Structure 1
Amino acid sequence: MKLVSMMAMAAAMLLSSAQAQEVDGKALFLKNCAACHQSSGKGIPGAFPALAGSKFVQGKSTDVAAVLLKGRGGMPDFSDSLSDRDIATVLTFVRSNWGNKADGLTESDVGSLRTTLGVDPFGNSLMSNKH
């Protein structure tokens, strides 16, 4: 009986951890991305691309993360203003909402990509936010 109870408690903790990450991802998205991509993820046609139902967003995770680390077109990079954990959290949220069905990323995934791309490590400086 105790083993079943412990397993149920472990499952509840994992679920609450996933729910917490979802909340964190949504909060990070609303704070850093929604002004351009809209809270619905639908973007603004001709100005900011939709993330909802996006083949690019659901594609190779490193391609999507590279945009946040290096910027692209009119999109700024977030390498100095978001930690690897925050980038992974917001991308996991974006890749699993608004009809998107793609795997999430981990802090380690983003950190490895940061190294591969030659992007400086996140410094967590209060003065580094360039947005």
Structure 2
Amino acid sequence: MKKMLMTAATALAALMAQAQEVDGKALFLKNCAACHQPTGKGIPGAFPALAGSKFVQGKGADVATVLLKGRGGMPDFSESLSDRDIATVLTFVRSNWGNKADGLSEADVGTLRTTLGVDPFGNSVMSNKH
């Protein structure tokens, strides 16, 4: 019985990881691919590549800060993506196209949001920013 429970738990964990991968890809395609391209290679001179990026593979908090506050020509997504969505899309980006970096959790993004003084998701007036 114990072995069967362990096997079921392992299978469930694998399914959850696969679902997060699909969710991350779907979020990326919906919110990021227009600029950074579905391949993560960006558009030279306009939108930076995420594939093979040292920045993307660097500190998770630095990458999440860009999504929460924007940078350069990139808008912030603090009002349009939840902490879970930001963690999910960043986990996808940091582990695809040759990138090999740890993912982020919803709690990581929530803590960073508080540290940066960014309003909690869903606490802002709706906008048409994106």
Partners of 2:96 and 2:129 lie apart in 1 by 27
Aligned to 2:3: 4
**Alignment coverage as a number of residue pairs:** 130
Q: TM-score, normalised by structure 1?
A: 0.96
For residue 114 of structure 1, what is the amino acid of its counterpart? R
Query: SS where residue 57 of structure 1 aligns?
Result: coil
Cα offsets for 1:58-112 (capped at 9, x unmatched) = 0000000000000000000000000000000000000000000000000000000
Unaligned regions of 5+ residues in structure 1, if any?
A: none
Identity %: 82
SS in 2 for 1:113: helix
User: Gaps spanning 5+ residues in structure 2: where?
Assistant: none
2:95 is aligned with 1:96: yes
Distance 2:51 2:128 in 1: 26
Q: 1:6 to 1:126 in 2, by over 3 A?
A: farther
Match of 2:126 in 1: 127
What secondary structure does 1:47 align onto?
coil
Offset, 1:19: 0.3
| Partner SS for 1:49 | coil
Check whether the contact 1:80–1:129 (CA below 8 A) recurs between aligned residues.
no
1:109 aligns to what?
Answer: 108
The residue that corresponds to 1:43 in the other structure is: 42
C-alpha distance in structure 2 between counterparts of 1:128 and 1:60, whole Å: 30
Partner residue in 2 for 1:83:
82
Would you identify which runs of 4 or more consecutive aligned residues in structure 1 move more than 2 Å? Answer: 124-129
Task: Note the alpha carbon deviations across 1:106-128, whole angstroms, 9 max, x for none.
Answer: 00000000000000000177933
